[in-house]
Chains A and B, each alone.
Chain A
Amino acid sequence: METPISKTELIVIGGSAGSLQVILGMIKNLDENLGFPVLLVVHRKAYSTSILPTLLQQFTLWKVIEVEDKTEIENNKIYIVPADYHLLFEDKKTMSLDSSEKMNYSRPSIDVTFKSAGETFGESVIGVLLSGANADGVEGLNYIRKNKGKVWIQNPGSAEVDYMPRQAFERVDYDLLIEPKDLAKHINKLATNK
């Protein structure tokens, strides 16, 4: 139906207020063994004990892992950036944590990880920006785009808090506008083993 897409090596999903329902819905419907990892950058309260990985794990057979410093990323696993750290890629395998200044009042900052993923993975990364109340992630999407990666944005009309996806919609050259119920379907279609 379209031109062949380059092999996906990473999906990185950023979200803030109103994104958890979308992520839960996606996780429930994700096929197994898609052949790439999924990384979640979600704004959370600092020091929130790691409830999120446990919560998400209940809805999926994928292994859900909260990233520690120098965690090696593996296919077919879901990774979550821990509260109060930025996440950067050293290379396509190794993730580092960084507790430097907040960006857009946020740590983790979606911008920081999107930019690092864009510069590390080039055309083989897809950045997805979901519901949220500030503009974190928008600039990062532009870096993904600049490095030839793909950009998906939640349709602002479908977002619980539309500021973040609306900023992206207006300022980023995107590939897809996503309805929450279709997110898993779009990801499943990228499978390399089908």
Chain B
Amino acid sequence: MLEPSIVRDEEIEYLIKDVYDLYGYDFSLYSRASFKRRVNRICLIDRFTSFAELRYTIINDPDYLKHFIEEITVNVTEMFRDPQFFKKLREEILPQLGTYPLIRIWVAGCSTGEEAYSMAILLKEANLYHKCLIYATDINPSVLETARSGVFPMNQMKIYSENYMLSGGKEDFSDYYTANYDSARFDKSLQEKLILSTHNLVSDSSFNSFQLIICRNVMIYFEKALQERVFNLFDASLENLGFLALGSKETIRFSNLDKFYHQIEDQKIWKKIDHN
């Protein structure tokens, strides 16, 4: 069922201001269309029948905010989503990264961690895992707990396994997890190089330099102005000749940084050209 239209446009603005003033989360440059849908969806899930009820709860119940952040952000993700993308990483990008003594990768907006685990598997199979670090960050602390647990729903494994094979995986995907009724617990070794931390792309700054930054289907929820800011953050966090990977329908074409990046064929992967 579609979410109802409970909250009006101007009320969205009040809500964004409240959340920023009280808690410091800045959603003012999030794409309005998606954000509004999420707010209306929260009203449906939490049974608020009016904007006033939602606003009252947000203002007066700091514990509710955690849930609000959880639901307002989209946490839909998969392992090896877009297998062709992972195939490209496997065949072209990782061999290039293999020349570095230490490979640092940032999965920005990692949600529950499926892409970070996918990367760990790729690096293992490329024999680069021993010399890599995977930083996976998200605005939302509760999704990071899921990522930390390494336990994912069993009913997803069929599609993940198909994705894995399409990405060029040669092993038996089920060797990477232990099945337990409705959940799949991934091998602890896949967490050894995983550093999970909260990071808000809107307000936090660069915290390291990387040779590969993966940020897929995160910036679709941002307005262009914020996208530009985040591109600058990535640019400042990426070594020369490092790679930036975006979602299959995202582009840096509209960005001022476009001229400093060289797209890898028809993939959503760009290589940084020497410029700072």
Contacting pair A96 B76 (CB below 8 A): no
List the A side residues contacting B250 at CB < 8 Å.
Answer: 68-69
Q: How far is the CB of A186 from chain B (nearest CB, A)?
A: 27
* A69 pairs with B83, CB closer than 8 A: no
Check: B221 CB closer than 8 A to any chain A CB: yes
Interchain CB contact (< 8 A) of B2 among A82, A96, A112 = A112
Would you call B1 and A96 a contact (CB within 8 A)? no
Contact A111 B74 (CB under 8 A): no
Q: Does B82 contact A (CB under 8 A)?
A: yes
Per-position contact with B for A109-149: 1 when CB-CB < 8 Å, else 0? 00110011001000000000000000000011001000000
Q: Mark B23-39, 1 if CB is under 8 A from A, else 0.
A: 00000000111100110
CB-CB under 8 A from A90, the residues of chain B are 31-33, 223
CA distance A111 to B3 in the complex (A): 10
Contact A98 B2, beta carbon cutoff 8 Å:
no
Q: Is the interface of B mostly helix, strand, loop or mixed?
A: loop
> B1, B76, B83, B223: which contacts A100 (Cβ < 8 A)?
B76
Q: Could you tell me the distance between the alpha carbons of A139 and B3 in the complex, rounded to whole angstroms?
A: 10
Count of residues in A whose CB is under 8 Å from the partner chain:
27
Does B143 make an interface contact (CB < 8 A)?
A: no
Also in contact, A98 and B32, with CB within 8 A (given A47-B82, A47-B83): no
- Known contacts A68-B251, A69-B251, A99-B74; A115/B220 CB under 8 A: no
Contact indicator B2/A99 (Cβ below 8 Å): no
- Decide yes or no whether B249 CB sits under 8 A from chain A: yes
B contact residues around A96 at 8 Å (CB): 31, 33-34, 220-221
Q: In the complex, are the beta carbons of B219 and A99 less than 8 A apart?
A: no
* Complex-state Cα separation, A57 to B224, whole angstroms: 29
- Residue in A67, A69, A85, A119 whose CB lies within 8 Å of B219: A69
User: Which residues of B in the span 1-54 have a Cβ within 8 Å of any Cβ on A?
Assistant: 1-2, 5, 31-34, 37-38
A98 lies within 8 A of B74 (CB) = yes
Set of chain A residues within 8 Å of B37, measured between Cβ atoms: 88, 98, 100, 112
**Chain A, Cβ-Cβ closest to B223:** A90
Whether B83 pairs with A111 at a CB distance below 8 angstroms is: no
A99 near B76 with CB under 8 A, answer yes
State the Cβ distance, B130 to closest chain A Cβ, in Å. Answer: 32
Task: Please tell me which one of the listed residues B34, B224, B251 contacts residue A98 in the complex, with CB atoms under 8 A apart.
Answer: B34
Pairs A–B under 8 Å by Cβ, sample size 23: A69-B219, A69-B247, A69-B250, A69-B251, A70-B224, A84-B248, A85-B220, A85-B249, A89-B33, A90-B31, A96-B31, A96-B33, A96-B220, A98-B37, A98-B220, A99-B217, A99-B220, A100-B34, A100-B38, A100-B76, A101-B76, A103-B2, A139-B2
- Please give the residue numbers on chain A whose beta carbons come within 8 Å of chain B beta carbons, in ascending order: 47, 49, 67-70, 82, 84-85, 88-90, 96-101, 103, 111-112, 115-116, 119, 139-140, 143
